[in-house]
Chain A
Amino acid sequence: MTKLIHHDIAIKHVTGESVYINDMLVSDQLLLGKVVYSKYAHAKIKKIDIKNALKVNGVKAILTHKDIPGENQMGPVIHDEQCLAKSEVKFIGQAVVLIAAENDFAIKEAEKLIKIEYLQLDAILALETAIEKNNLIAPYRKIEKGNVNKALKKSENIIEGELNINGQEHWYLETQTALAVPGEGNEMKVFASSQNPSETQAIVAEVLGITKNEVEVEVKRMGGAFGGKETQGNHVAAWAALLANATKRPVKIHLFRDDDQIMTGKRHRCYGKYKVGFNNNGQINAYKVEINLDAGSSTDLSMAILERAMLHADNAYYLPNVNIVGIAYKTNLPSNTAFRGFGGPQGMAIIENAIDRIARFLNKDSAEVRFLNFYKNETFNITPYRQIVKNLRLSKMYNNIIKSSDYFKRRKQIEKFNNKNEFLKRGIALTPVKFGISFTTTFLNQAGALVNIYTDGTVLVNHGGTEMGQGLHTKILQIAAKELGISYNKVKISATNTSKVPNTSPTAASSGSDLNGMAVKNAMDTIKKRLIDEIIIPEFKKLFPNCILLKQNIVFENNFIIDKKNPKNKIPFNEIIKIAYFKQISLSSTGYYKTPDIYFDKKAGKGNPFYYYAYGISVSEVEIDTLTGQYKLLRSDILHDVGNSINEWLDKGQIVGGFVQGVGWVTTEELKWDYKGNLLTHSPDTYKIPTINDIPKEFNIEIMKNIPNVRTIYKSKAVGEPPLMLAFSVWLAIKDAISAVGNHKIEPEFSLPATCEVILLSIEKIKNKF
């Protein structure tokens, strides 16, 4: 298989032909939908008056919770959120009323005329307040190994601290969108921008009070998702379906950017508290950590996210004695949700910062302290949750990147630079990533596929995964073409559709290719077996009577079926397909896959939750202006592990894109609310994701070669999420530069993101102490 093909839709992207929901040419019966949302963070709804709004010319429906034919309570895991608020609103942005109208003007007029009377209630807006009030969303969780208190007492040194980590807005370019088209009877077809069409289907069925077999959800592609459409695309789909059901006309909802930012949940804010015991070399003996997440107003995926945060509290480090407590709190903000890394980044940030402190405390190089604590084969390979870390490659990668990035030489140059410059300071940091691959909710690790071969020899592949730009469909296309030995242009990947492959898991947890790739291969195996037994063997016998075709010698290659032993004996693939059709052999098959050998006991905090780990290391260098707090990212080196890559171009795309998204989170992306719970940074005017000028001036990206994975599709590894956390190297390089202001003698105050403001205030404090 050639490992280098472009994104299958690339040409359509660059010509503007690729169709997103908002671009679909729909009939002139289309209505536009709009959500009227709460302006209060917490309030009783006293009265909703829609009378005057209904009179607006062009308005076709105005719905409140009373108009929901099915279930108003919804939610992906626990049904603790309402489709439309009934008697109480719990955050600013919560949907209260829906409008469907023929045009934008009518919607705006109607919106002005809808009167909702509220009685304001006390709101919990700060995570700090929620912690103080012990406002838990679910019981806390624990993972423990060894005796951490005893070990702390024995430790030569102890550091205690806390870390505030802010959330992150997904900022997918395509805001939440759905188009619902009513059919006959109860039927409803929803074109959704959802990472989880099966769940969208379930929720639409529930709110409409109909059965799942009456709902069809289709996802052609998303204009970015990053976790933000794992559950939160469901709402827009449900609202559109309610309006379509009420009007019996197609209804489209496309959220305005500001509304999207105000209404939807984000990466969880986090407050971490830790105590770490270590010897004079920097070897960690005990680590005690409390991870507090802001779940927002409802559960959503928060408990799974908390779990992953806890399962990544160790990151790449062996912790002999460890105690990890995870708590999720309820606040009056939109329900926080999945975002690339899914809690992993928060868990890892805390220990990365702690190790950075150990190095400063001992006056050692932080990269060396990290290396010292890495998981190592044989003795130092048991995680806090007892999974054995196998096939380790961290030390090798460390040695490679230390060399390729010239780490120690640059460290010296930076020291020189800092001694010479009073107001500009440089810093460098190396940080590793070890990321567990699999849904920690074990049953989700399954996938299905449906492969159809048509009589002209072309192939349509349906699978449960969704395309959000990551290139999943391209990898699936490669797998399908390779398995059947046919050209790429003979294979097409269909839009993801719940009527083709049922009961699918979300395209999340970096699992898209691992799970769906295997399911597609499984379907191919079934069809191939049929073809071999029923058609290929008899046909070869007929055409090449003098050669005996052995099953193990049959290869599907170059659009032919070939006898490897007698390569001249071959039959074109489409010939075989035609014959199969006339001989009444099914040319369609489902495929299925579930990840073997994984389990996790949530209560005990023990098990083998991950099928394997993906690794990466990065080194970044920054320069800060100590007068303004502004910074420049001078250079980043990345070395990442993707096993045997199925497509290096796509994998590199995930590595670079994930890293830069992480850089945004740890630097300029700042979520801010006012004292009433209004999001202040509700548009790109104030919420600043990286631009082309924010990437490293020198950027070296390398994929580790010759380290195949085991037991995965073509020995590849998942790549979607892990690279995001490589951005910690930028975050801690900034801290290193701040620390230079006090000659590395004073521990800088630090938080995440390290905005210009955080940097400058930290510097001012050091200057005052110095």
Chain B
Amino acid sequence: MKNIIKFILDDKLTEIDFFVQSEFKSTTTVLNYLRALPNHKGVKEGCSEGDCGACTIVVAEIGGNNKLIYKTIDSCLMFLPMLHGKQVITIENIASNKEQLHAVQQELVEANGTQCGYCTPGIVMSLFGIFKNYNKPSREIIENALVGNLCRCTGYEPIIEASKKISEYTKSDKFFEKEKNTIKLLKRIKNNKLISINNNNQIYFKPFTLSEALKLRNENTDAIIVNGSTDIALRQTKKNEFLAKIIDISDVHELKYINNTDDCHYIGSGVSLENLRKYSSKKLPQFKKILDVFASLQIRNIATIGGNIGSASPIGDLIPLLFVYEAKIKLKSLNNERIVEIENFILDYRKTDLKQTELINEILIPKYNKSYIINSYKVSKRKDLDISTVHGAFKLKLEKNKITEIKIAFGGMSAFTQRAKYTENSLNGKIWNRKNIEKAMKVLYNEFTPLSDARSSSEYRRLVAKNLLLKFYLETKQ
């Protein structure tokens, strides 16, 4: 389809023809699109970087078992074409009528959960997300679903009270009643044909199959790859960068699988961080620990593992852990396929080994038997929705308390994730005891020369790095 996207808004099929409606760019954010409409001023801009959640909306799409999946998303981080084939639900949509508030709205009123009201639409949509996804949400689930919504007035306590009440309602609401119709409508617009948009000197490709994506990649080596948009969108909203050409692979279904064998997890690059978090809760507990405090639910719902690795951020909250796991990256181009060790894939500050014709296809995470101890620690100024100041990951193998293998990787200690090789060497072959750890801490303290920046001083980072080794040691002793 050329220049046209279709989605459901206000219960109606909505079509945007970018050729006609040139006031919208293909990289117009969903937030700016909605706010340009006269009847959708409820969605608010608070920060334009996904840190406050005032712009939270819910996007529903057809899931595996032919049911709708409801996801909360920061609309400021989502490009308009990403709505194609989905239902957009905003604050204006969820009450049945003027007299009948939705359960989550009613409970927020009852709990006095609004003061200035500016964050409220976002909070309501996050509560709606909880309502749609959980029957009896625990406090942990509630908090996890709401860390992406900043409120400066209420102190959150009444919002938690409101969330607790939600479980007392039956799950039927008007969306539940209309689900069959919605699915029918969505099926009608979702035909998986390539969308290409060319307006305002910008080209936006949205393929739905891997072969199409690879073909586009091969022909458009200058294009920016979007696999979730939570990082790329910032280049536009925060840095005023003009994104001339985009290949958006966020809806390539073939990249959204998770498989595992006896010795490896195979994760498609399009798997969202939230789906990976859910998977990891049983299969990869060390990943769960990091993913629990990785950005916010709104971001994890669209951000992908492929996007996280491809961005090669100096911190890249998952990357240190992938280093010690010795994860491998499967890269695919139209005519070729290769597998690279993650350590060889990350080359420098935001630089990877990805060739201009390649896409990240899969992440292979090896399984380790019980003789290995693996852990990682994220240290940040604020516990949630904060980028690590330091992130340390450790893997250890002991034989009769002697170190036969140790891998240590750090994020936040240099321009990109790096192994602490001197420290590893100083420990290899040694007895795993406090004395040797304390010696190694001195090596580690001097191994990196991190920056002082907005997050912390260099000294703090060095102290934390060495202390994390001790922390890892102490936890292996428990």
Contact = CB atoms under 8 A, between A and B. Distances in A.
A692 B147 contact: yes
A756 to B, nearest CB: 6
A224 B384 contact: no
A226 B152 contact: yes
A650 B153 CA distance: 11
A746 B40 CA distance: 58
B253 interface: no
B221 to A, nearest CB: 28
Contacts of B157: 656, 660, 695, 699, 701
A149 B386 CA distance: 48
Contacts, number: 222
Interface string B125-155: 0000000000000000011001101111111
Q: How large is the interface on B (under 10, 10 to 19, 20 to 34, 35 or more residues)?
A: 35 or more
B40 to A, nearest CB: 8
B153 to A, nearest CB: 5
Contact of B109 (A11, A16, A661): A11
Contact of B118 (A12, A224, A680): A224
Contact of B115 (A22, A653, A672): A653
B78 interface: no
A688 B456 CA distance: 13
Interface residues of A, number: 76
B155 A656 contact: yes
**B142, B455, B474, most chain A CB atoms within 10 A:** B455
Contacts of A652: 112
A680 B454 contact: yes
Contacts of A470: 115
A471 interface: yes
Given A11-B109, A757-B456, A757-B457, A16 B92 contact: yes
Contact of B459 (A7, A256, A649, A761): A761
B463 interface: yes
B101 interface: yes
A681 B382 CA distance: 14
A683 B149 CA distance: 15
B160 interface: yes
A9 B117 contact: yes
* Most chain A CB atoms below 10 A, which of B38, B45, B117: B117
Interface string A161-191: 0000000001111100000000000000000
Contact of B156 (A14, A173, A670, A695): A695
Contacts of B124: 14, 16
Contacts of B142: 692
Contacts of A423: 471, 474
A658 B155 CA distance: 7
Contact of A16 (B43, B106, B150, B384): B43
Contact of A173 (B108, B118, B160, B384): B118
A693 interface: yes
A10 B109 contact: yes
Interface stretch (B49-57, B204-212, B305-313, B351-359): B49-57
Nearest to A9: B117
Nearest to A467: B116
B464 A657 contact: no
A71 interface: no
B182 interface: no
A663 to B, nearest CB: 8
B464 A11 contact: no
A226 to B, nearest CB: 7
Nearest to B464: A628
Interface string A36-55: 00000000000000000000
A656 B159 CA distance: 12
Contacts of A661: 152, 155
A15 interface: yes
Given A6-B112, A23-B41, A257 B46 contact: yes
A173 B155 contact: no
Nearest to B114: A13
A205 B377 CA distance: 57
Interface string B464-477: 10011011001000
A283 interface: no
B105 to A, nearest CB: 4
A43 B395 CA distance: 53
Contacts of B262: none
Contacts of A23: 41
Interface string B421-455: 00000000000000000000000000000000111
B408 to A, nearest CB: 16
Nearest to A470: B115
B1 interface: no
A20 B45 CA distance: 12
- Most B CB within 10 A of own CB, among A226, A468, A469: A469
Contacts of B464: 627-629, 760
A15 B105 contact: yes
B194 interface: no
A755 B381 contact: yes
Interface in B230-287: 238, 240
Interface in A175-231: 221-226
B385 interface: yes
A173 B46 contact: yes
Given A15-B105, A257-B46, A695-B155, A25 B38 contact: yes
A416 interface: no
B287 to A, nearest CB: 20
B116 A172 contact: yes
A80 interface: no
A691 B384 contact: yes
12 contacts: A14-B109, A15-B42, A423-B474, A628-B377, A628-B379, A628-B471, A688-B382, A689-B152, A690-B156, A692-B156, A692-B159, A695-B156
Given A660-B157, A680-B453, 13 more contacts: A10-B114, A15-B91, A16-B124, A174-B44, A257-B48, A469-B117, A628-B379, A683-B51, A691-B146, A691-B383, A692-B143, A756-B381, A756-B456
